[in-house]
Amino acid sequence: MVISMDRWVGKVAVVTGASTGIGAAIADQLVSNGLKVVGIARRVELVEQRSQDLSDQPGKLYPYKADVSQQDQIVEAFTWIEDTLGPVHILINNAGVAKDTTLVDGDYDAWRATLDVNVLGLCVATREAIKSMKKHDVKGHIVHINSLCGHRVPNFPGFNIYPASKHGVTALTETLRQELNFLGSKIKVTSVSPGLVATEMTTLKEMDPEKRAVVDTFPVMSPEDIADGVIYVLSTPEHVQVHELTIKPVGEIY
Site for ligand NAP in 99-118 (CB under 6 A): 117
Binding status of residue 227 toward ligand NAP by CB under 6 A: no
Which residues are within 8 A (CB) of 184 and not within 5 positions of it... i.e. 6 or more apart? none
Residue placing its CB nearer to ligand NAP in the complex, 35 or 145: 145
Q: Which of 232, 29, 12 is nearest to 138 (CA)?
A: 12
Given a contact cutoff of 8 angstroms between Cβ atoms, the answer to whether 20 and 46 are in contact is yes
Binding status of residue 17 toward ligand NAP by CB under 6 A: yes
Please pick, among 62, 162, 232, 254, the residue that the annotation labels catalytic.
Answer: 162
**Among 19, 29, 114, 160, which residue interacts with ligand NAP (rule: CB under 6 A)?**
19
**Among 41, 161, 176, 189, which residue interacts with ligand NAP (rule: CB under 6 A)?**
41
- Give the nearest distance from C-beta 186 to ligand NAP in angstroms: 26
- How many Å apart are CA 141 and CA 143, to the nearest integer? 6
Binding status of residue 129 toward ligand NAP by CB under 6 A: no
Binding status of residue 186 toward ligand NAP by CB under 6 A: no
The one-character DSSP state at 198 is: -
Which residues are within 8 A (CB) of 78 and not within 5 positions of it... i.e. 6 or more apart? 14, 88, 125, 128, 129, 131, 132
Q: How far apart are the first and last CA of the chain?
A: 33
Q: What is the CB neighbour count within 10 angstroms for residue 204? A: 15
**Among 5, 110, 123, 201, which residue interacts with ligand NAP (rule: CB under 6 A)?**
201
Site for ligand NAP in 202-221 (CB under 6 A): 202
Q: Examine the residue annotation and report whether 162 is marked as an active-site residue of this protein.
A: yes
Instruction: Determine if residue 52 is left, alpha or beta; phi over 0 gives left, psi from -120 to 50 gives alpha, anything else beta.
Output: alpha
Binding status of residue 194 toward ligand NAP by CB under 6 A: yes
Segment contacting ligand NAP by CB under 6 A, of 49-57, 92-100, 134-142, 176-184: 92-100
Please list the active-site residues: 162
Contacting residues toward ligand NAP, per CB under 6 A: 16-23, 41-43, 67-69, 94-97, 117, 145, 147, 194, 196-197, 199-202
